[in-house]
Amino acid sequence: MTVVNPQARRSRRLSVVSQLTIALAIGVVLAACQKDQPAQDSAAAPAATAAAPAVTAETAVSAKVSALTADQLREAARKAYAENRLYAPAEDNAVEYYLALRDKAPGDAAVSSALTDLLPMTVIATEQSVNREDFTEAQRLAALLEKADAQHPALARLKASIAQAQDSAGKRAAQQQLTAEEEAKKKVDLEKKRLEDQKKQQEDAARQLAAQQSRQAEDKAAADKAAADRAAAEQRAADQRAAEARAAAARQAAATPATADASDLRPLSMPPPRYPPEALRAGTSGEVQVEFTVGTDGSVTAARVVRSNPARIFDREAVNAVRKWRFQPVDSPVTTRRTIGFNPQS
């Protein structure tokens, strides 16, 4: 049996207490150091942010995008537009590709039209980036807007809003002294919200563009139909006039004995028909056979198309020309037919 000395036991207890006290003191010191560290990191963060170069209109389009050829830019812009990457992410969005393409092809009307459609959405995205205090993204979008249109009416307001919001956020950050963990979580949440917002915004923008294009297509279809209806109405009116003229000629022929024939006609004036501009541009040729009646005074009193090839292309001009023909007076009206040819080479 081992006998423990009471004095030795008390000594061991004091030794253990001393060790615990020292360990506790070391822990307090370490905790104080860790508590001071976030404040130092928070103070250093603005300095790091300030040191990073701000995006400007000159650097809004990255060197990577600018290095692409015009054909590569056109294809990349088309693909980004179709996939709703309208203004984000950086270096892979429709606005940036179109701006680089405009630098290479300044007179491309399609590029200008695309940028005109995309800029209102870029303005909205800039405002939303400011609202969620994503100043890096807001500055990038504002730089894209400035490169696209340095005189854009919203540009000065957006720049002032970014500067004011940054100042307010800096003051608030200094007051709150966010810890390193809180700052990291805020950045993660900010990036997540940015991606969600940008996806939703670009999908909404794409739907708006699709609706706008659909309305434009409907308006064009309505205009084309109205033009076709007018043309059909004009043709019906012309056919009606021709029918009335034929009826009048028939009545006149029935009332007047036919004592003359086509061999009695002596032309005085037979101006050629006008070539339809559309047919001339297309290089279309053809012929029209016209039946007409010459009155006793030598003027053409009625004319109608008997056949034409191709149909309807030259009918109106052929009939108009025949109605202007003049012949020597005859004893009685004479009805005959003539074939009028149309050749763009003649």
- What pLDDT score does 32 carry? 43
DSSP state of 257: -
- What pLDDT score does 179 carry? 83
Residues 315 and 185 in one domain: no
Residues 74 and 172 in one domain: yes
User: What are the phi and psi torsion angles at 274 (to 5°)?
Assistant: -80, 135
- What pLDDT score does 345 carry? 85
- State which amino acid sits at residue 242: A
pTM listed for this prediction: 0.45
Residues 207 and 307 in one domain: no
Residue 142 lies in a domain: yes
Residues 202 and 81 in one domain: yes
Residues 197 and 72 in one domain: yes
- What pLDDT score does 11 carry? 43
Using DSSP, state whether 303 is helix, strand or coil. Answer: strand
Residues 212 and 261 in one domain: no
Q: Whose CA is closest to 77, among 33, 49, 117, 44?
A: 117
Complete edge-to-edge strand list for the sheet that includes strand 286-294: 300-309, 286-294, 334-342
Residues 273 and 183 in one domain: no
Contact between 338 and 307 (Cβ < 8 Å): no
Number of domains in the chain: 2
Residue 17 lies in a domain: no
Range of the domain at 298: 256-342
Low-confidence ranges of the chain (pLDDT < 50): 1-50, 255-258
Residue 11 lies in a domain: no
- What pLDDT score does 260 carry? 64
CATH number at 311 reads: 3.30.2420.10
Residues 90 and 215 in one domain: yes
Residues 191 and 272 in one domain: no
Residues 82 and 161 in one domain: yes
- What pLDDT score does 3 carry? 36
At 240-273, the pLDDT tens digits run 887 887 877 667 655 444 456 888 899 999 999 9
Residues 204 and 281 in one domain: no
